[in-house]
C-alpha cells in the first residue's frame, strides 16, 4: 500500500516513513502529484496541525486510511471519511501524562506568576528593591475541568496531590469522586481555575463563551491545553485586557502560530507554543503509535487506535 505524508511531521517520523515505506510528502502546490501518483495513495499520515479535508479525500481516490499524529483530529473531516469508508486513527493515551503535566504547569505558573516573576528578575526590578506582588494559592484551590476524558482525568489525579477541590463538566456524568456540574457557566462560577480539556471541533466551538469568562471573573483563571477553537478568543482577550478575568495560561490559540497581539504585554497571561505533548518521550511514543497503525492497516486493513 502506498503511504503519503501530508503536512510536516516530527523529523524522526518523517525519516521512519521514508525508510519503511518510501513515503513521499504531498508537495505544495499538490496538483501534479495528485493528478499523477496520488491515484495510488492508500494511506495518509498527517497531524492535527494539517489534517485531511473533504477536497483532498476526493482527490485521493484509492485512500483507505488516515493516520493522525496527535490525539486531536479536528483538522480531518471525519464525517466525510466515514461516508467514503476511509478509516481514521489518532494517537490517544500516550500523551495524557505530558498534556496533564503541562496543564498543572500552566495552573501553577499563572496563579503564582512564575513566568512574570522571571521577567521581573531579569529586568532588574528585584535588584532595584521592588517587592514582587503577592500571588494566589494553588494548593486547595477550586478547579473546574471542562472535558473529563483521559486527559481531564490525568489532570484531576494530579490536582488531588494539591488537595484541590475538583469539579467537572462533561458530555456525560462519570463515575468519579469529583462534583459534576451541568453547564460550563456554572462550573466557571464555582471555581478559581477552569481547565479546558475537551476535544476541538464544531461541537465544542466557543464552549468557553463570553458568559463563561464573565462567570470566572476578575479573580478567576483560565487554562487551555485543548484547542483554541473551544474559547471565544476575542472575548477572552477583551476580558484579560480590561481586568475582568484574573489571568490565563494558554497553550492553544485560534490561529496558531499567531497569538493575539493584545495578550503579549500582559503579565497575567502565560503563553506557550502548543507544546503540551512536546517531550522526546511522548512524541516518540506518538510516532510509534502512528507506525503501528500504518503497519497493522497494511497487514489486515484494521487500525490499532481507530477514532470512534
Residue 218 C-beta: closest distance to ligand 8YV, Å: 30
Angle in degrees, 0-180, between the axes of helices 280-300 and 96-112, rounded to the nearest 10: 150
Size, binding site for ligand 8YV by CB under 6 A:
9
Can you tell me the distance from the alpha carbon of 46 to that of 50, in angstroms, rounded to the nearest whole number? 6
- Compute the distance between CA of residue 106 and CA of residue 90 in angstroms, rounded to an integer: 25
Distance CA 187, CA 144 (A): 6
What minimum distance in Å lies between the beta carbon of 190 and ligand 8YV?
A: 28
Contacts to ligand 8YV from residues 46-105, by CB under 6 A: 47-49, 69-72, 95
If the CB atoms of residues 48 and 184 are measured against ligand 8YV, the closer one turns out to be 48
Three-class secondary structure of residue 274 per DSSP:
coil
Q: Quick one: residue 159, left, alpha or beta (phi over 0 = left, psi -120 to 50 = alpha)? A: alpha
Q: What are φ and ψ of residue 183, in 5° steps?
A: -140, 155
Asked whether 61 and 85 are in contact (CB, 8 A), the reply is no
Instruction: Specify whether 211 is catalytic.
Output: no
* H helix intervals, the chain: 11-21, 31-34, 54-59, 78-84, 96-112, 114-122, 150-160, 184-189, 210-216, 233-241, 261-264, 280-300
CA atoms within 13 A on the CB side of 207: 30
Helix axes 96-112, 150-160, angle to 10 degrees: 50
**Residue 67 host element (H or E):** strand 65-69
CB of 70 to ligand 8YV, least distance (A): 3
Smallest distance from the beta carbon of 202 to ligand 8YV, in angstroms?
16
Q: Does 235 bind ligand 8YV (CB under 6 A)?
A: no
Question: Whose Cβ is closer to ligand 8YV: residue 169's or residue 274's?
Answer: 274
Coarse DSSP helix, strand, coil percentages of the chain, rounded to the nearest 5 percent = 40, 15, 45
> Which C-beta is closer to ligand 8YV: that of 49 or that of 136?
49
CB 299 to ligand 8YV: min, Å: 25
Pick the closer one to ligand 8YV by CB: 200 or 247.
200
Q: Which is nearer to ligand 8YV, 159 or 285 (CB)?
A: 285
Which residue is catalytic, options 256, 258, 281, 284?
Answer: 256
Which one, 159 or 252, has the nearer CB to ligand 8YV? 252
Nearer to ligand 8YV, 167 or 305 (CB): 305
Distance of closest approach, residue 170 Cβ to ligand 8YV, in angstroms: 18
CA gap 266, 47 in Å, rounded: 31
Q: Is 268 exposed, middle or buried (0-12, 13-18, 19+ CB in 10 A)?
A: middle
The verdict on whether 274 is a catalytic residue reads yes
| Catalytic residue of the set 169, 227, 233, 283 | 227
Of 43-51, 111-119, 123-131, 153-161: span binding ligand 8YV (CB under 6 A) = 43-51
Q: Is 80 a catalytic residue?
A: no
User: In the window 133-172, what residues touch ligand 8YV (CB under 6 A)?
Assistant: none
Q: Which residues contact 293 (CB under 8 A, 6 or more apart)?
A: 65, 67, 89, 303, 304, 305
Catalytic residue among 169, 233, 274, 283: 274
Least spacing, CB of residue 186 vs ligand 8YV, in Å: 27
Residues 277-296 contacting ligand 8YV, CB under 6 A: 277
Q: What are the catalytic residues? A: 227, 256, 274
Binding site for ligand 8YV (CB under 6 A): 47-49, 69-72, 95, 277
Amino acid at each position: 500500500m502506498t503511504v503519503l505524508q501530508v503536512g510536516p511531521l516530527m523529523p524522526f517520523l518523517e525519516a521512519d516513513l521514508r525508510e519503511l515505506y518510501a513515503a513521499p510528502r504531498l508537495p505544495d502546490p499538490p496538483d501534479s502529484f495528485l493528478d499523477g501518483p496520488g491515484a495510488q495513495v492508500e494511506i495518509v499520515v498527517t497531524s492535527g496541525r494539517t489534517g485531511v479535508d473533504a477536497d483532498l479525500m476526493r482527490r485521493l481516490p484509492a485512500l483507505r486510511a488516515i493516520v493522525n499524529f496527535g490525539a486531536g483530529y479536528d483538522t480531518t473531516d471525519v464525517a466525510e471519511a466515514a461516508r467514503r469508508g476511509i478509516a481514521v486513527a489518532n494517537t490517544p493515551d500516550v500523551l495524557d501524562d505530558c498534556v496533564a503535566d503541562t496543564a498543572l504547569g500552566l495552573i501553577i505558573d499563572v496563579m503564582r506568576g512564575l513566568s512574570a516573576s522571571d521577567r521581573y528578575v531579569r529586568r532588574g526590578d528585584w535588584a532595584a528593591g521592588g517587592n514582587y506582588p503577592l500571588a494566589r494559592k494553588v494548593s486547595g484551590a477550586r478547579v473546574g475541568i471542562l472535558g473529563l476524558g483521559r486527559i481531564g482525568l490525568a489532570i484531576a489525579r494530579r490536582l488531588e496531590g494539591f488537595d484541590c477541590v475538583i469539579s467537572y463538566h462533561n458530555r456525560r456524568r462519570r463515575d468519579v469522586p469529583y462534583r459534576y456540574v451541568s453547564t460550563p457557566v456554572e462550573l466557571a462560577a464555582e471555581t478559581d481555575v477552569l481547565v479546558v480539556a475537551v476535544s476541538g471541533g464544531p461541537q465544542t466551538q466557543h464552549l468557553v463563551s463570553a458568559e463563561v469568562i464573565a462567570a470566572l471573573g476578575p479573580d478567576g483563571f483560565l487554562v487551555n491545553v485543548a484547542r483554541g477553537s473551544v474559547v471565544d478568543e476575542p472575548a477572552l482577550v477583551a476580558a484579560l485586557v480590561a481586568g475582568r478575568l484574573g489571568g490565563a495560561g494558554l497553550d492553544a490559540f485560534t490561529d496558531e502560530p499567531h497569538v493575539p497581539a493584545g495578550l503579549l504585554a500582559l503579565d497575567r497571561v502565560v503563553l506557550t507554543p502548543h507544546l503540551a505533548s512536546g517531550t522526546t518521550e511522548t512524541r516518540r511514543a506518538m510516532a510509534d503509535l502512528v507506525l503501528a497503525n500504518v503497519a497493522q492497516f497494511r497487514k489486515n486493513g484494521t487500525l490499532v487506535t481507530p477514532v470512534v
